[in-house]
Amino acid sequence: MALLGLVESLPMLLLLTNLIAVLLFLLCPWWVLRREFGGTGVLAGTFGLIDPQQLGIPDTLAVGWIPGLSWAWVLLALLSCLALGIKERQVRARWLYSLGVGGLVLFGLGLLWFYGAVGAVNRAALAEGIPPTRLPLRRFSPSLASYASFAYALLLLLLGRLQLPGGKAFLVRRRQIIVPLTALGAAVAAGAVVVGLLRPGLGSSPDSPFFVKLSTKLDLITYTFQVLFSPITHLPGLFQSLLLATPLIFTGLAVAFGFHAGLFNIGAPGQLTMGAIATMLVGVYLPGPGWLTLPLSVLAAAAGGALWGGIPGWLKARFGTHEVINTIMMNYIAASIFLFLISANQYRFFGYPVTLPFKAPGPEARSYEIRPESRLPSLLELLGLQGSGPGTLSWAWPLALLAGVGFYLLCRGWPLQRRCIGSLAAGLGGYLLGGILPGWPVEVPTGLAAIRLNGAFLIALLAVAVVNVYLWGTLEGYELRAMGFSPRAAEYAGVDLGQKQIWAMAISGALAGLAATHYVLGAGLEEYRLKQSLPAQVGFDGIAVALMGQNSPLGIVLTALLFGVLLTGGLRLNLELGISRELVTALQALIVLFIAAGGLLPGYFTDPLQAAQVEMDCDERST
């Protein structure tokens, strides 16, 4: 409730924001001029260079203008305080808007000045014959004060919007974005405190002055999260993040689908396991051409998960038993069946030997390899690329996706069935057109071919589209969401609750089972086979993905990508700074906790009824 008062009280919020902003502008480093392996760097702040290791970089023109930039931001913060004396809300909003836009311009000029000055110093060094590996300024980047200035400018724009009619409703309507972003920010802040308490500043020593210790500690926190989110800035890291995000998209969709039906499907690990067993059986033992066996292998994964999800749905519909207990118990049964099939070939039943054909020879618990025609190709192969180095990019799949999605978005006025059929036809046409167009010469980065991102990612995107259309574009989806919101009202309106519960759990299980295509058919486990190391726990991770994604398909994709980025960046963080990858697990747990707490935001951001009331009140005031 204290945060509620801050949100609705401009003087308190603006004064607190300005105080924090001024402290950040004056005390935090603005730029990193050189970053060594292990994180130690030469920092440039308001009061000059901070060089804990005396790396010998002179105080050049590259940093001489920073004090002026810092004090310009302090002046901007002081000018924003004048908004407190403006009585008319329209004028106050224009004042805050002007300062926010001015802040964005100032931020952009700061970036131009910094990169231009660094480039000038390095070009001068190159002209003197210094080799590129020994440039005076290298591995440079913005630092905490620079990021804070950008965030402060955006906050001024947001405060300006809140002064206009319907400002609160503007935020409430976007609560599916506001709540996850707030939870992520709170989790990052809590993680920053943990990192700051556990590790000394980068390059500082017990004898360093207090200001150096403070600056290097703040730089440690900044660099930690720079490394953690660094995979989005280079192609191999992004591909690795998408690789890790692919099964999370499936399991997140599975959990979210159950949530929309008012069901808590906690059995995604077991459904994934049964999907993996089913797709292995088809992929290994069903002969035939690839155009037949590959789709059947994918459908087998969905069918295995649907069976394992439909059983708890039937038990709930028939006997009223709770789906949480049923799905947990089904997880144990699935794990036992999984081990029974691939851990050994010889068993004895009632004294008679029984031989099973599923385990491959050798001590490791694994199945035989998937037949080549049943394997999912890698994403690079779908794009017509083979390994690292020079290659020719095929336009077939990119044009297919662009044509299909574009047709669906442009023809919103069409009936849903015609729109979907038209999108498939447009996608097929784009694929055929891309196949006859000349390829685009590209250079595949070294190591990109080793990343096992495969066609399961495209299946995940297709599942996202299908779930979105089903839930919000069909009568059956509307009935299912109505059942989740109010079962008694839905039953009164004629919805067969038992049938819907079975159907919802079966679809949820099918989505979780499709995650097995990534591991078994796409070599997500480094081999085209079912292995004991199958990470069924991603089924539980899907709960966190669904919660942070607010149970929306697009939110689940973005959240899964975020978790993939964190997992990928956590490995580099461990290698470079020695910070345990458990920090990533802690961040994920904190995100879930803050999501459960509504991002520490007022109740109208999390309660649909309060949100609707806020929107109605704002509409009445505007009219």
Q: What is the pLDDT of residues 52-67, one digit of tens each?
A: 554 455 544 445 667 7
- How confident is the model at residue 113, as a pLDDT? 86
Higher pLDDT, 45 or 298: 298
User: Which strands form 141-142's sheet, in the order they lie side by side?
Assistant: 48-50, 41-45, 31-35, 141-142
CA-CA distances (angstroms) from residue 360 to 370, 387, 531? 11, 29, 10
The contacts of residue 207 (CB under 8 Å, 6+ apart) are none
| Cα–Cα distance, 252 to 533 (Å, whole number) | 21
The contacts of residue 228 (CB under 8 Å, 6+ apart) are 565, 566, 569, 570, 573, 583, 584
- How confident is the model at residue 622, as a pLDDT? 56
| Cα–Cα distance, 465 to 472 (Å, whole number) | 11
**What domains can you pick out in the chain, each with its CATH number?**
2-164+200-233 (1.20.140), 247-375+496-556 (no CATH)
- How confident is the model at residue 65, as a pLDDT? 67
Kindly give the interhelix angle for 416-436 and 456-473, rounded to the nearest 10 degrees.
Answer: 160
| Cα–Cα distance, 460 to 376 (Å, whole number) | 13
Q: What is the mean pLDDT of residues 272-277?
A: 97
Is the model's pLDDT at 15 over the cut of 50?
A: yes
| Cα–Cα distance, 30 to 215 (Å, whole number) | 10
Listing DSSP states for 65-131 in one string gives: THHHHHHHHHHHHHHHHGGGG---HHHHHHHHHHHHHHHHHHHHHHHHHHHHHHHHHHHHHHHTT--
Closest CA to 271 of 545, 539, 534, 543: 539
Torsions phi, psi of 59, nearest 5? -80, 85
Task: Report DSSP state, residue 354.
Answer: E
Classify residue 56 as exposed, middle or buried by CB count within 10 Å of its CB (0-12, 13-18, 19+).
Answer: exposed
- Terminal Cα distance for the chain, rounded: 29
Task: Report DSSP state, residue 165.
Answer: T
Closest CA to 556 of 232, 174, 176: 176
Closest CA to 30 of 51, 19, 46: 46
Strand pairing report for 48-50 and 346-349: unpaired
Q: Which residues pair with 378 in a beta bridge?
A: 454
Residue 340 tokens read as 């029974």
Q: What percent of the chain has pLDDT over 90?
A: 42
Closest CA to 162 of 231, 77, 83: 83
Q: Which of 130-134, 437-441, 473-477 is predicted most confidently?
A: 473-477
Structure confidence by residue, pLDDT tens digits, 345-399: 888 888 888 888 899 998 889 999 999 999 999 988 888 888 778 888 888 888 9
Measured from the Cβ of residue 128, the count of other Cβ atoms closer than 10 Å reads 7
Closest CA to 536 of 565, 511, 516, 561: 516
CA-CA distances (angstroms) from residue 189 to 184, 186, 325? 9, 5, 36
The contacts of residue 188 (CB under 8 Å, 6+ apart) are 225, 587
Q: What is the mean pLDDT of residues 454-461?
A: 94
The contacts of residue 605 (CB under 8 Å, 6+ apart) are 171, 172, 175, 178, 179, 598, 599, 611
Tokens 């979210």 sit on residue: 256
Structure confidence by residue, pLDDT tens digits, 516-561: 999 999 988 888 999 999 999 999 999 999 998 989 999 999 999 9
Buried b (16+ CB within 10 A) or exposed e, 351-386: eeeeeeebbbeeeebbbbbbbebbbbebbbebbbbe
Region of residue 550 (phi > 0: left; psi between -120 and 50: alpha; otherwise: beta): left
Closest CA to 142 of 100, 101, 114, 122: 114
- How confident is the model at residue 1, as a pLDDT? 40
The contacts of residue 522 (CB under 8 Å, 6+ apart) are 375, 376, 378, 452, 454, 455, 456
Distance of CA 374 to the CA centre of its chain: 30
Instruction: Give the pLDDT band of residue 616 (cuts 50, 70, 90).
Output: confident
Which pTM value belongs to this model? 0.90
Structure confidence by residue, pLDDT tens digits, 238-268: 999 999 999 999 999 999 999 999 999 999 9
- How confident is the model at residue 3, as a pLDDT? 42
Q: What percent of the chain has pLDDT over 70?
A: 95
Measured from the Cβ of residue 578, the count of other Cβ atoms closer than 10 Å reads 10
| Cα–Cα distance, 35 to 43 (Å, whole number) | 9
Q: Which residues pair with 34 in a beta bridge?
A: 42, 138
CA angle 96, 102, 105 (to 5 degrees): 145
Is the model's pLDDT at 24 over the cut of 70?
A: yes
Measured from the Cβ of residue 428, the count of other Cβ atoms closer than 10 Å reads 13
| Cα–Cα distance, 172 to 611 (Å, whole number) | 6
Q: What is the mean pLDDT of residues 198-208?
A: 79
Helix (H) or strand (E) holding 473: helix 456-473
The contacts of residue 166 (CB under 8 Å, 6+ apart) are 618, 619, 621, 622
Listing DSSP states for 358-386 in one string gives: -BPSSSS-BBPPPPGGGSPPBHHHHTT--
